[in-house]
Chain A
Amino acid sequence: EVQLLESGGGLVQPGGSLRLSCTASGFTFSGSAMSWVRQAPGKGLEWVSDISGFGGSTKFADSVKGRFTISRDTSKNMLFLQMNSLSAEDTAVYYCARITVFGVGQRGMDVWGQGTTVTVSS
């Protein structure tokens, strides 16, 4: 079964750091670009970051650029999101998702984890 499982969320104080993990199974992880998407309480979906299949290319939303880093360990089928200098605005459910290319440049997020909750509060 194709599956993604996030972990690492929790309560953190403003200015603190947290590292999220996403464990993939049931597909060839090394060949898949991956993404992090977040959803603040009661709000819509916000793309956070992407990483290419072999980790050579990363992209970030302006809202997290310079504070978040994305990485992957293909030997362990794991994706990571290191979050530093956290503020209340980063409070959200964080989802990892697989990016699939459907052809002619078309891409979509076709597999999602269940999400992990990050709460930034003193």
Chain B
Amino acid sequence: DIQMTQSPSSLSASVGDRVTITCRASQSINTFLNWYQQKPGKAPKLLIYAASSLQSGVPSRFSGSGSGTDYTLTISSLQPEDFATYYCQQSYSTPGWTFGQGTKVEIK
């Protein structure tokens, strides 16, 4: 099974900061990588698919990049509504999808 490891597990940042979250797969996943945002008590929301494609309706301050085993989610200028937990997910291997353990973005 493919394992997904996110770093950091949590971070503190201020409004306006540039934030970067990384996700490493245990083997190459050929950009079959999605990013989700989850706020407390709410369902996850798809932000980025195929490593770098912005889901419809998602603000352009969110971007994704990467290839092979290493991927990055960047928030160019953190906004108050962006404080949440972020998860990466691989869709490369079957039978299942694997999520990273999550990165909690908190207010500094």
Which of A's residues lie within 8 Å of B, judged by CB?
35, 37, 44-47, 50, 59-61, 95, 102-110, 112-115
Contacts and interface: CB of A to CB of B under 8 A. Distances in A.
The binding surface of chain B is classed by DSSP as: loop
Nearest to A113: B43
A59 B44 contact: no
Interface residues of B, number: 26
6 contacts: A47-B97, A59-B95, A102-B50, A106-B49, A107-B49, A109-B36
Interface string B83-108: 00001010100111111111000000
Given A47-B99, A110-B55, A112-B45, 8 more contacts: A44-B100, A45-B36, A59-B95, A95-B43, A104-B50, A108-B55, A109-B89, A115-B43
Contacts of B99: 44-47
Given A59-B95, A112-B44, A112-B45, A45 B87 contact: yes
Contacts of A106: 31-32, 49-50, 53, 91
Interface in B25-84: 31-32, 34, 36, 38, 42-46, 49-50, 53, 55
Contacts of A35: 97
A39 B45 CA distance: 14
A90 to B, nearest CB: 17
Nearest to A47: B97
A46 B89 CA distance: 10
Nearest to A112: B43
B32 A105 contact: yes
A46 to B, nearest CB: 7
Contact of B46 (A47, A50, A59, A110): A110
Given A44-B102, A106-B32, A108-B91, A95 B96 contact: no
Nearest to A114: B43
A108 B43 contact: no
Nearest to B101: A44
